[in-house]
Structure 1
Amino acid sequence: MDDLLEQTWDVVIVGGGNAALCAAIEAAEAGRSVLMLECAPKPYRGGNSRHTRNFRCMHSGPLSVLTDTYGEDEYFDDLMRVTAGKTDEGLARMAIRHSESCLPWMEQHGVRFQPSLSGTLSLSRTNAFFLGGGKALVNAYYNTAADLGVQVIYEAHVTHIAIEGHQCTGLDVTITGQSHRISARTVILASGGFQGDVDWLARAWGPAARNFLIRGTPYNRGVVLADMLDQGAQSVGDPTQCHAVAIDGRAPKFDGGIVTRLDCVPFSVVVNRDAQRFYDEGEDVWPKRYAIWGRLVAAQPDQVAYSIIDAKSLKLFMPSVFPPEQADTIEELGEKMGLNGDALRETVDQFNAACRDGDFHPTELDGVATEGIEPPKTNWARPIDTPPFYGYSLRPGVTFTYLGLKVDAGARVQTPDGPLDNVWAAGEIMAGSILGQGYLAGFGMTIGTVFGRIAGQEAASHAQ
């Protein structure tokens, strides 16, 4: 350990997830000495990347497990739709274009893919799924990095990036209770957002944030982000925006991961604690709209909602990790879920009466909509009328926050006086540059992979 702490490294990377690993591999392949500082214990290494399952990828024809074509303009239009235009178009299009070359690079470095799973067929053209999920991807990259000579220190808590002028002169890190100063020719910051710090969330969102569940890693507490902002690095993104999805209300407070996500919303009616609907459940296909539901539920009383389906829809989405509540009547289901059963019955009856006949297609926009009811349901609007009935409680689940560090196309960290000479950022710590709001399934991995690789290449060149 002392040898690792006392030498001057070509590249020091703060973080241990996808972006950090991509940067480490690129820098090591360029012949540079690389040290990764991962604050999590080894079994929990990998940050939010442990919980991912796919990578959104542009391609001009069938590519690996991807089918057909997914061009730059369509990809960008999908991003514009979910972000309402709040993105840096130059950086966004660069990430999209680079994604096509990233997929074969990932395969060359140990990542294996599989065809889309049942319940995710709508993604077969746009998203490549990892065989074994995010944990398998993380382990593959760590194995590749080790073969390249990358050194890793776990439970290494970086507390300060020493900036003098436009130069990083060292990093302060605490390991097993002792403080150390590490020297580096270049530094890559890939330590994520601040979702693990509930007090910071509450300052940004208000007291309601204390009711949120953190489905991402608890080790991303924003320490390095705050340190850099305090030293004048330019910020990007809104502190009140984050990747927040509606997850199972029975999930743990931290680190529940992707298995706690519920994909039932498009085939359901969603009500609040007063058994009232509050938004169009069928607005768009789930990969493009699922991330808005965390914020929608956060705005409801007690930050809770309930998704109600019937027997017709139970097999139309990925199965949940916890079984739903079940009952033979809507009233009974409501009572089981802590709702007023009669009120829920009235809401469902009103919804059913507004449904119209149409050709139901669960994996694409089908235009099967309600009439004469607010809010409308604009797709997949079938009556909830076939027992048994099922219900899930929903709570906001925060994956990562969008406040971050501003970077340029070379991933270099910016200040009001220009870029820092030897500091780059990749992954969630800079994703707010592209994700102003909303989310697109698999796009976080795209950002991390593209900018991680760029940061590693640029740092390696500078260190030479």
Structure 2
Amino acid sequence: MTTEIRQRDVVIVGAGMAGLVAGVRATELGADVCVLEKGTRPGGSMYLSAGLIWSYETIDDARENVPRGDPELQRTIVEGLDPAFDWLESLGVTVREPPVELPTGETVVAPTPGANCGKIEPEAFTDRLRTRIEDGGGEVLVETPMRSLRTDGNTVVGVDATTADGEDLEIEADAVVLATGGFQGNERLLQEYVTPAIENLWLRANPWSTGDGLTAARDVGAKTTGGMETFYGHNLAAPPANVTPDRYLELTQYYGPFAVAIDERGERFTDESESDLEHTLAQDTAHEADGRAYYVFDSDLYDDEVFSMGHIGTIVERSADRGAEVVRADSLEAFEEKLYAAGVDGTNAVETLDEYNEAVRTGCGDRLDPPRTDYQRPVDTPPFYAVAVQPGITFTMGGLHVDEGGRVLDERRSPSTLFVDEGHDESVECEPIAGLYAAGVDIGNVNNRHYMGGLANALVMGRRAVESAVDDRVE
């Protein structure tokens, strides 16, 4: 087997949104860049998404909604989003303002109140940015996974990779930007950090984001963040529903914060309404309900809409058509019996509903255990419904500790002090690993349990990381 050796100014590992953005920006700054993509195509999980790029309008809103995240990284993203939208427009990428139509046909105004939101077409975006990289003298190599980082002492000096033909590839570079998209595709890492019940997780993302950036960086001394057990995702229709990548959006249930979520014991296990966007409910379904739950609701909710994500009845029937388990009954007595047939303790479930209804009718949902802090509406108008759901993980929230320039930090050296999330009280001091940067969700602790957008991180930090790399190289 032969080994090919190349020299580049910058190597970017991963060709999702963060990697493509970094690649284009590198060519604009005059760097000789190579983008390595493990998968068969560029675009990453962004390619499968609705293309909504959003974050909060202000840092105060971001801190209120995502208090465990790193405030400096959050500020960088919030303040950098509008300039990044302008930059995309300068490249010829159309960024549409809401309202926008999703592939499912629903119209979205914004994913949450107070959001700064734009919409791109993922396929057109991918093609445009790949072309800009190649026209700028760079290259995008698909089916070319990184095996490891190359180092000289404490400095990263390139990568070892494998080409699509199975040959060894050594790339010597002044800087490496990791943009491999998290570790949600790696069963071992999911079991280590997220949940042992990985068989009850849908992968709501591309299959190639298996923690290559995280693993390689840890091997050279990189520090990881708190919140490694947290992830962004939604609850989708559970097996036997036929969930395929082209059906991720239409089989996402979305309405969980308005329903009553029970486990197979017929008991509530979390505050369903903690987050409007359902991501905390998806995490708690994985952590507290062993990955399988039921959304229980009545005809009033069935006939309602969930924000701007569409008619709930349409979501339910669409899921049923794809094989989802949907229990329907015209009375609580029949509902109890049908829940037993579905493997749920129907008696406990009806008792749970009775307790819930009594509390929310008097505005005392916050006194329940677990509490119900918002959307306190009774479930009392037949027919009654229960939809089996299972978490779908889109990306992991924990990852590499970086500074606001995307420099990956070395846990072995000091002196810059970092923000530590609420779950970690130790003092953390470290300085960057020379030559190593990260962008997108390889960066940890932007989101931590709560969520302020994923593609915004990729867009803003993809630009920021490669700008830091080029600036540091000049210095």
TM-score of the alignment, normalized to the shorter chain, above 0.5: yes
Structure 1 unaligned residues grouped into runs of 5+: 59-69, 81-85, 358-367
- Equivalences for 1:159-170 in 2 at 5 Å? 159-170=147-158
2:11 is equivalent to residue 24 of structure 1: no
Q: Is the 8 A contact 2:235 2:253 kept in 1?
A: yes
Pairwise CA RMSD of aligned residues? 3.0
Tell me how far 1:173 sits from its aligned partner: 0.8
2:86 is equivalent to residue 95 of structure 1: no
2:460 is equivalent to residue 455 of structure 1: no
In the alignment, the residues of structure 2 paired with residue 184 and residue 254 of structure 1 have an alpha-carbon distance, to the nearest angstrom, of 38
CA separation of 1:322 and 1:13: change in aligned 2, threshold 3 A: same
| Counterpart among 258, 262, 284 of residue 296 in structure 1 | 284
In the alignment, the residues of structure 2 paired with residue 407 and residue 301 of structure 1 have an alpha-carbon distance, to the nearest angstrom, of 33
Q: What residue is the counterpart of 2:217 in the other structure? A: 228
| Counterpart among 115, 127, 143 of residue 155 in structure 1 | 143
| One-letter identity of the residue aligned with 1:429 | D
In the alignment, the residues of structure 2 paired with residue 11 and residue 264 of structure 1 have an alpha-carbon distance, to the nearest angstrom, of 44
CA separation of 1:73 and 1:370: change in aligned 2, threshold 3 A: closer
Tell me how far 1:257 sits from its aligned partner: 4.3
CA separation of 1:379 and 1:404: change in aligned 2, threshold 3 A: closer
Tell me how far 1:351 sits from its aligned partner: 2.7
In the alignment, the residues of structure 1 paired with residue 319 and residue 398 of structure 2 have an alpha-carbon distance, to the nearest angstrom, of 32
Q: Is the 8 A contact 2:397 2:446 kept in 1?
A: no
Q: Is the 8 A contact 1:237 1:433 kept in 2?
A: yes
In the alignment, the residues of structure 1 paired with residue 293 and residue 185 of structure 2 have an alpha-carbon distance, to the nearest angstrom, of 23
CA separation of 1:260 and 1:166: change in aligned 2, threshold 3 A: farther
Deviates more, 1:13-22 or 1:296-305: 296-305
Tell me how far 1:135 sits from its aligned partner: 4.3
Structure 2 unaligned residues grouped into runs of 5+: 101-105, 414-430
Q: What residue is the counterpart of 1:440 in the other structure? A: 451
Q: Is the 8 A contact 2:263 2:293 kept in 1?
A: yes
Q: Is the 8 A contact 1:218 1:254 kept in 2?
A: no
Tell me how far 1:280 sits from its aligned partner: 2.5
| One-letter identity of the residue aligned with 1:56 | W
Deviations 1:28-81 (A, max 9, x none): 112222211000102xx32222244322245xxxxxxxxxxx33322332221x
Tell me how far 1:24 sits from its aligned partner: 0.8
- Equivalences for 1:110-129 in 2 at 5 Å? 110-116=93-99, 120-121=108-109, 123=112, 125-129=114-118
| One-letter identity of the residue aligned with 2:434 | D
In the alignment, the residues of structure 2 paired with residue 425 and residue 446 of structure 1 have an alpha-carbon distance, to the nearest angstrom, of 14
2:395 is equivalent to residue 400 of structure 1: yes
Q: Secondary structure at the match of 2:273?
A: coil
- Equivalences for 1:58-457 in 2 at 5 Å? 70-80=57-67, 86-109=68-91, 110-116=93-99, 120-121=108-109, 123=112, 125-132=114-121, 134-175=122-163, 176-205=165-194, 207-250=196-239, 257-284=248-275, 286-287=276-277, 290-314=278-302, 315-317=304-306, 318=309, 319-320=314-315, 322-323=319-320, 325-329=326-330, 330=332, 331-332=334-335, 334-335=339-340, 337-356=342-361, 370=365, 373-415=368-410, 416-417=412-413, 418-430=431-443, 432-435=444-447, 437-442=448-453, 444-457=454-467
Using the size of structure 2 for normalisation, the TM-score is 0.80
Tell me how far 1:407 sits from its aligned partner: 1.8
Q: Is the 8 A contact 1:158 1:172 kept in 2?
A: yes
In the alignment, the residues of structure 2 paired with residue 460 and residue 310 of structure 1 have an alpha-carbon distance, to the nearest angstrom, of 57
In the alignment, the residues of structure 2 paired with residue 150 and residue 336 of structure 1 have an alpha-carbon distance, to the nearest angstrom, of 59
Aligned residues: 427
Q: What residue is the counterpart of 2:32 in the other structure? A: 33
CA separation of 1:184 and 1:219: change in aligned 2, threshold 3 A: same
Deviations 1:416-440 (A, max 9, x none): 334233221111111x1433x2132
In the alignment, the residues of structure 2 paired with residue 372 and residue 241 of structure 1 have an alpha-carbon distance, to the nearest angstrom, of 26
In the alignment, the residues of structure 2 paired with residue 336 and residue 47 of structure 1 have an alpha-carbon distance, to the nearest angstrom, of 40
Tell me how far 1:462 sits from its aligned partner: 4.5
Q: Is the 8 A contact 1:91 1:434 kept in 2?
A: yes
In the alignment, the residues of structure 2 paired with residue 413 and residue 162 of structure 1 have an alpha-carbon distance, to the nearest angstrom, of 15
2:50 is equivalent to residue 49 of structure 1: no
Q: What residue is the counterpart of 1:67 in the other structure? A: none
Deviates more, 1:208-217 or 1:325-334: 325-334
Tell me how far 1:200 sits from its aligned partner: 2.1
